[in-house]
Structure 1
Amino acid sequence: MSAFPNPSAVQTKSVPTWRQQDAKPFVQIEQITKQFGQFTAVNSVSLDIYRNELFCLLGGSGSGKSTLLRMLAGFEEPTSGRILIDGVDMTGIPPWERPVNMMFQSYALFPHLSVEANVAFGLKREGIKSPEVNRRVSEILDMVQLGHLAKRKPHMLSGGQRQRVALARALVKRPKLLLLDEPLGALDKKLREETQFELMRLQDELGITFVVVTHDQEEAMTLATRIGVMNNGEIVQTAEPHEVYEYPKSRFVAEFIGNVNLFDGVVVEDERDSVSIQSPDLDALLQVDHGISCAPNQEVSVAIRPEKIYISREPVDIEVNGAMGIISDVAYMGSQSVFKVRLASGKELRITQPNVSREMGSRLTWEDNVYLSWDPDSCVVLMS
């Protein structure tokens, strides 16, 4: 019988743990700061991660995400603050005594050992008897679909297979928390996409809490139950993937996650259910169908995702939420086409359109005069 937890007993998919008012966090990061001399790598971060989450820390180079992960693992000691895992304060507890395992980007497999010997290494170091080691290694290799390759050496495996060996080695010790630092970074795009779903399946089957560090926005959006976006050592937004994308809290998040068109402007009318903004980049008024709390004439930014802009050669009303321009660039990407449209003000907008037809004759192309429009609920007002 498997000793791994039953995920159905840990979390119901209809009501995620982090939405339950009485849920207790599994990982509690409380006001964690890490300084290296005069440099602050992580600045007063507080974060709750719940049992059976696949949580992603997302940020660019130098954002502090890997340093935060290393503090969870115990490889770095916080300058201040504390970390609790399953209610236990980890202050002063060394890595090997924490209920945590970590998978590194390099995989760090022993080249002279077989797949099964690599996976068994940590168990044997703990003095576990051979029959139990063999049973657990066989179980986890079957889970990652590598049982038939147990006798092979790492150099005889593909990149995706080596990644799964490293994952099996991290999981076989049955940690309460698995930390993954850029786990798919060494794989090519297609294999990375396939492995993302494999990782999600394993996490769901095993019921283990995963914390993944990545700089890849698409990877975080695919994998995560929730995302913590990091910048300059701080977490600037924590939310489910669709919320981070559709409702960014700041200009940085809007620009970092996916592609976005931004208009800087001034609030000219603030009603209970809508707000109107005048931007020097547009002749039209920007109208958003939700009010904001702001001072008169406050400067704001309006974010509109490229796929939410309608583009057509046919004239449309552009007095509100609209514009006219010329296509300056086109990129055909198979499932969609990307258009860059230059407005009269000189501002260039990015628009994406799905390619639902194979026919090329009627498609928009370079130097076409086009009309753009968007719905009021497609705009997000950003205060910073």
Structure 2
Amino acid sequence: MTSSQPIDTQNATATANSNVPLWKQQDAEPFLKIENITKKFGEFTAVDNISLDIYKNELFCLLGGSGSGKSTLLRMLAGFESPTSGRILIDGVDMAGVQPWKRPVNMMFQSYALFPHLSVADNVAFGLKREGASKHEVKKRVAEMLDMVQLGHLGKRKPHQLSGGQRQRVALARSLVKRPKLLLLDEPLGALDKKLREETQFELINIQEELGVTFVVVTHDQEEAMTLSTRIGVMNHGVIVQTDEPHDVYEYPNSRFVAEFIGSVNLFEGKVVEDQPAHVRIDSAEAGGTLFVNHGISCAPEQIVHVALRPEKIKISHNRPDQTENCIQGVIEEIAYMGSLSVFKVRLPSGKEVRVTQPNFTRHMGERFTWEDKVFLSWDEDSSVVLTS
């Protein structure tokens, strides 16, 4: 059956792409475009030729250790540092020469930088008053933001009368009240304790989704980046070494650095003995056998590679499983009960230590393990990934 109605190809494409993230759409324009940005301090290169596209309404995390260049990159986006070379475009506008206060950007600092002598409401209103907004507009927007961060009843308090989590939300409200197109957050939850940090992460996600503001977050905390972000850019020595969604960064790291930096991982060094399009076999002296991975790689014959295997992918048992590959034997040296999971450190005959984690689904453990037990470790062929760098 055909229709005489003309097809609206533009709307059809938009509908088809509605559930596809912008960074996966070929025709999507990035909201923040970083082109070949380099920043040098004398002979030291803090940021080294980075190019990155971030899209509207993303909550993008720059993740890295101390000295990786993530905060320097954030400061260049804010205008507090000038690039040595390269350029930054926000919503299609080149930021070269644009002063920080003239950019459609606001920044939330780790220290929160609240004015101790001002009330909560006056802290949030400060930027609007400096811009000359009317009293009615200031009052309205401050009230809206305080309600959004659930502090509407604390507007008259001073910062010293608030908890750490409340001060964090005041700083967030102050950063958002001017309605920036882009909000930069430098270690925003670093000053909070673990439980409060976990609770605040979800509050931050909800606020970002409600406002639709693009967030770029700098953090060194892997769990925080995994929880918050739509995508993660992992930084090392001034370079972004991998950009992906959290699941892909964790499950498919592109290097040993990323595999070790994100979560816990076991790495087995070995030599490629069979490389097919659909699978690869690695002879590993460390593992004490042949490792089979059901994906191909691009490498030289007999190249030395590493097989990355997450601890939770490994099965542990007293009896040998019915498989000849991806099965190794060792002795339990350490056991740690962590509540939701148990951690085992198993020593192989090669001396290699393997970390295994098991979830504690019930109060009563099934198969019991103790120190010095001889055990078998096994895993599925799709549980590991081969790393060539």
Q: TM-score, normalised by structure 2?
A: 0.95
What residue number does 2:183 align with?
178
| Aligned AA (1:244) | V
Shift of the 301–361 alpha-carbon distance from structure 1 to 2, 3 Å rule, reads: closer
Q: Distance in 2 between matches of 1:13 and 1:188?
A: 38
The answer as to whether partners of 1:284 and 1:318 remain within 8 angstroms in 2 is no
Shift in Å, 1:362? 4.4
| Aligned AA (1:347) | K
What residue number does 2:6 align with?
none
1:226 and 2:231 are equivalent in the alignment: yes
What residue number does 1:4 align with?
none
Shift in Å, 1:375? 0.8
**SS where residue 66 of structure 2 aligns?**
coil
Shift of the 71–266 alpha-carbon distance from structure 1 to 2, 3 Å rule, reads: same
Written as runs of structure 1 = structure 2, the 5 A alignment for 1:219-298 is 219-298=224-303
Q: Distance in 2 between matches of 1:14 and 1:347?
A: 45
What residue number does 1:164 align with?
169
Shift in Å, 1:42? 0.2
Identity %: 75
What residue number does 2:213 align with?
208
What residue number does 1:58 align with?
63
Written as runs of structure 1 = structure 2, the 5 A alignment for 1:132-151 is 132-151=137-156
Shift in Å, 1:368? 1.2
Written as runs of structure 1 = structure 2, the 5 A alignment for 1:33-72 is 33-72=38-77
The answer as to whether partners of 1:284 and 1:319 remain within 8 angstroms in 2 is no
Written as runs of structure 1 = structure 2, the 5 A alignment for 1:1-384 is 14-317=19-322, 319-359=324-364, 362-384=367-389
CA deviation string 1:172-213 (max 9, x = no partner): 000000000000000000000000000000000000000000
Q: Distance in 2 between matches of 1:225 and 1:304?
A: 24
CA deviation string 1:122-147 (max 9, x = no partner): 10011111110000000010011100
Q: Distance in 1 between matches of 2:288 and 2:256?
A: 23
Shift in Å, 1:92? 0.8
Shift in Å, 1:308? 0.3
| Aligned AA (2:146) | L
| Aligned AA (2:233) | G
The answer as to whether partners of 1:56 and 1:227 remain within 8 angstroms in 2 is yes
| Aligned AA (1:215) | H
Q: Distance in 1 between matches of 2:288 and 2:114?
A: 60
Q: Distance in 2 between matches of 1:357 and 1:201?
A: 32
Shift in Å, 1:361? 7.9
Shift in Å, 1:272? 2.1
Shift in Å, 1:280? 1.1
Shift in Å, 1:319? 3.1
The answer as to whether partners of 1:27 and 1:85 remain within 8 angstroms in 2 is yes
What residue number does 1:5 align with?
none
**SS where residue 376 of structure 1 aligns?**
coil
The answer as to whether partners of 1:33 and 1:78 remain within 8 angstroms in 2 is yes
| Aligned AA (1:148) | H
The answer as to whether partners of 1:318 and 1:372 remain within 8 angstroms in 2 is no
**SS where residue 137 of structure 1 aligns?**
helix
Give the gaps of 5 or more residues in structure 1. Answer: 1-8
| Aligned AA (1:254) | A
CA deviation string 1:318-356 (max 9, x = no partner): 631011111100111110011100001110000000001
| Aligned AA (2:23) | W
Q: Distance in 2 between matches of 1:13 and 1:42?
A: 35
Shift in Å, 1:14? 2.1
CA deviation string 1:39-61 (max 9, x = no partner): 00000000000000000000000
Shift in Å, 1:282? 2.1
Q: Distance in 2 between matches of 1:361 and 1:37?
A: 61
| Aligned AA (1:291) | G
Shift of the 13–165 alpha-carbon distance from structure 1 to 2, 3 Å rule, reads: farther
Extract structure 1 runs of 4+ deviating beyond 2 A: 360-363
Q: Distance in 1 between matches of 2:38 and 2:368?
A: 53
| Aligned AA (2:384) | C
Q: Distance in 1 between matches of 2:33 and 2:357?
A: 40
Q: Distance in 2 between matches of 1:107 and 1:137?
A: 17
Shift of the 218–68 alpha-carbon distance from structure 1 to 2, 3 Å rule, reads: same
**SS where residue 382 of structure 2 aligns?**
helix
RMSD: 1.4
Q: Distance in 1 between matches of 2:281 and 2:21?
A: 36
Q: Distance in 2 between matches of 1:202 and 1:289?
A: 41
In the alignment of these two chains, the number of paired residues is 375
Q: Distance in 1 between matches of 2:224 and 2:346?
A: 28
Q: Distance in 1 between matches of 2:20 and 2:207?
A: 20
